[in-house]
Amino acid sequence: VWAAKAWREGDPGGTRAGRRPRAGSVPTGFLDVDVTSAPLALECLYTPWAPGTDSDGAPTPQDCPRVFSAGLDLTEMCGRNPAHYAEYWKAVQELWLRTYLSSLVLVAAINGACPAGGCIIALACDCRVLADNPKYHIGLNETLLGITAPFWFKDAYVNTIGHRASEQALQLGYLFPPSEALQVGLVDQVVPEDQVLSTALSEMARWLAVPDHARQLTKNMMRKATADRLLRQRDADIQNFVSFICRDSIQKSLQVYLEKLRQRKG
């Protein structure tokens, strides 16, 4: 994900904030964003988590070039206590709200798989450029894990691809390959893999050419109702998440899914 400020400063690579998780960072293990320093949070933006870490223990895209984001860290949702789940979900909400409501131009350069939480962060951006590789699927696959996408994931989906396509894709947990993602409007461009970043930068230039104040006011006008819906019921959403995720049947489903992932690797 590329932030306008860094782009303007000619340092898009410097937006990677994948440092070792620290106090106050979103405990997703995937998207390491400092949520305690509000104005900075998005300006030292993250590279969404992909399996692999650099020498500092920080996630790096290079270590797993085929993954944009594997979504939320399932190990944060398994075998923990209710207080942990509540804190975790609050951080996920915060990450999404800040990304979704950012006044910066955000362009998602999607160079790998982009399921669930990865998709929701890409959807919070202003524009999505996806590499044309049949393995790079994008979408909300929660039902395949035996869980439900929360209402604000659903809202972001509906806002982007419409009600009928969302209804079908959400129930099926469907992950769209690039051509279908483009067709349904889930991404804005599909380009050869080696052109993802240059295309994202061109898109960024296009968006930045618009007077900032007018673009920002318009963005807020378009997004406010969706964000307000979550803001009005943040605590209830956390309670729903905690009681849902604590169910034995849900824990079991998640463990089975994680185990399958691990076995697939072997």
38 or 261: CB nearest ligand LGD76KDA: 261
For the question of residue 141 being annotated catalytic, the response is yes
* Cβ 105 vs Cβ 126: under 8 Å: yes
For the question of residue 72 being annotated catalytic, the response is yes
Answer positive or negative: Cα dihedral of 56, 61, 66, 71. positive
- Confirm or reject binding of residue 240 to ligand LGD76KDA (CB under 6 A): yes
Choosing from 117, 118, 139, 173, the catalytic residue is: 117
Question: What does the per-residue mask of binding to ligand LGD76KDA show for 199-238, with x meaning CB under 6 A?
Answer: ----------------------------------------
For the question of residue 146 being annotated catalytic, the response is no
Name the segment binding ligand LGD76KDA (CB under 6 A); options: 31-39, 143-151, 178-186, 211-219. 143-151
- Confirm or reject binding of residue 244 to ligand LGD76KDA (CB under 6 A): yes
Rounded CA separation 88/85 (Å) = 5
For residue 175, the minimal CB distance to ligand LGD76KDA (Å) is 9
Site residues for ligand LGD76KDA, 6-65, by CB under 6 A, read 51, 64
- Confirm or reject binding of residue 252 to ligand LGD76KDA (CB under 6 A): no
- Confirm or reject binding of residue 141 to ligand LGD76KDA (CB under 6 A): yes
Strands of the sheet containing 189-191, edge to edge, are 2-3, 106-110, 127-131, 189-191
Choice from 117, 136, 169, 186 touching ligand LGD76KDA (CB under 6 A): 117
Name the segment binding ligand LGD76KDA (CB under 6 A); options: 100-108, 140-148, 189-197, 203-211. 140-148
For the question of residue 261 being annotated catalytic, the response is no
**Which residues belong to the active site?**
72, 117, 141-142
Which residues sit at the interface with ligand LGD76KDA, rule CB under 6 A?
51, 64, 66-67, 70-75, 113, 115-117, 141-142, 145, 147-148, 150, 240-241, 244, 258, 261-262, 264-265
